[in-house]
Structure 1
Amino acid sequence: VLLVGELGVGKSTLLLELAKHLTRKVYYLAGEESPAQIKLRARRLGVKDLLLLKETRLEPLLTLLEREPPEVLFVDSIQTIEAGGSPGSLVAVREATHAFVRLAKEEGITTLLVGHVTKEGVVAGPKSIEHAVDATLYLESAGVYRVLRSAKNRFGPVGELGVFRMEEEGLVEVQNPSEAFLLERPLGVPGSAIALALAGERALALEVQALAARTPFPAPRRVVQGLDARRVDMVLAVLERRLGLPLGNLDIYVNLAGGLKVQDPGLDLAVALAVYSAVVGKALPPDLAVVGEVGLLGEVRSVMGLERRLREGERAGFFRILHPGNTKALKEAVEQYLG
């Protein structure tokens, strides 16, 4: 398994949390922090038994692991291993990754490799390291929360999401992510719509926010955070062409509140209603949630996992839900709530 994330997001804390709950023999290869630092954090998290390794040269390390193989191995991080080049180089990262994958398969060792990410948010190093592992997990910040997301999984669905909160005692699971992400939602404000999204197998109620402002530039700006920018552009084109909404002289800003990043066509309807609400200055009902893909002809199309989304909407306390089963066109939804 490859676990990646930006600096300070909590990767090492997550490893220690795993070690605390495992009853197997665990080796922790500490390439970035000193044993004293790890001991201090482990004591705070309640980890009692942990075998630390400080060797970062690949050959001596493999010899040790083959002589006394653990049941579980944590490598923190793969960029600190010296293997055929300076630590962190493309050659060293590739060689070290393939060596650990080979060892894991030959000795039956459950191995978790920690990696860094680039400024663009992708895995630092050669693309081959993602191909070599069975699963790739991203640990990301989303406001005050930490989100663990699967980008690759040979044994299950991709896109699964776990939401945690960083506390003094470590990472604590957020039992109701929908409630957490909607906690600071303002009511009765134009430009806000609740979307029933699907992240992997998990349905979430999330707030889509939109803002429209008169542009001083010849070409209006389109700024999107947390959503697929190309889908948002398409929805804006449908609003302008099919519903006659004037957007040519407006800067449009669209944001998925809470810092999450979700690529889901089922958020189209929420984006459309949030933008329309922002432009006309009329708020949507606070107990309304929506889900649906918007087609180029202005129709509302069905989406995956609709039943799961509807159950989550009801659980989150939304009594009115627009979905492809009761709304066939975007114009119909706009006339019903924003007309």
Structure 2
Amino acid sequence: MKRPNKKTTVNSNYKVMEKEEFEKLFERYVRNELSEQELEQLMQAVKKDQYDVFLKDEIYTSLKEDEVSDFMDEQRAEIILNTILSESKSESKLVPLHPQKRNRKKTFRILFAAAGIAVLAAISSTFLFKSTPETPLKDVQQTPTEESALIAFSGKQLIHLPDGSTVLLNDNSSLEYNKNSFDDKTREVTLTGEAFFDIQRNEKKAFIVHTGKVQTKVLGTAFNINARKSSAAIEVTVARGKVQVGDAEKVYGVITPNQQIKVEKNTLAYQQSNINATAVTQWKNNYLILDDISMDQAVALISEKYKVKIQLNENIKNCRITASFLNDEDLDHILKVVCSVMEINYHYTDSGAVVIDGKGC
């Protein structure tokens, strides 16, 4: 079927605002100089997702001027923008900022998550990065220092841990770790829900996932854990490498690719079996993860997922991008966002193929 030629950032019922115009409006917004009509114009532009990277950068700059640590600044900026962009489309919200304009290098590191698009919102859904366990341990008392060191993540997102490992968190799930002790003698996290782990190998520091009383221990591998509250059991499935599953007293077993250990939460009775790991991790197929890869590699993944031929300009092939689309977005949405951020264009040929071109990075 023929498709009309179209360029990224074009919406049939919306006139695209030029980047320079948007930045001027935003600067005037910061100075509280916008009329009601101009403010509404800015709100509409924010909702169209084209300037997420710019907004995140401005928020981060504002927080840095409050003399907070870099680590907290960046994470707070990401959360604030996540909150802004995951609001209902019928609402208009921005947070007050007081930044001074700075020259900054362009960044193509983007992540789209939550109900709409949230730029680089993969750090946490908890504003102060403090999390209280859903079932507090009566025999453990956390000091304020220990509590503030707890880093929490919630909702579907791609998480980059300090040791270089990644965790793809499914919806209605959460992950947390103590930043002061992680990657010390061991690398330990606590999971509620479901996640796929891809762990950087370190033979001197085991990686341990706590799910209730069950402990999953690895040195470096890829595996899936399903520990949802609605399930009576915890399932650990290996995609690559070896995984040891047990509790504080004993080891249940060591499993390899396409094997699973299922542990009953109440009795801790367990069963080991052979299983198709690809089928278990089918939920990941709705996500499109472009994690610091070249545009050439990104296009290959997009082409494979959407079964469409994509032609890429030679000038763009080596440009790098980090993006995660976590809501089963359609092809046009992904092309629009990627091309908008990288300031390139796309259009369809008469045969339905996609052509991406532009100046490059």
State the TM-score, normalizing by the size of structure 2: 0.28
State which structure, 1 or 2, has the greater radius of gyration over its C-alpha atoms. 1
State the TM-score, normalizing by the size of structure 1: 0.29
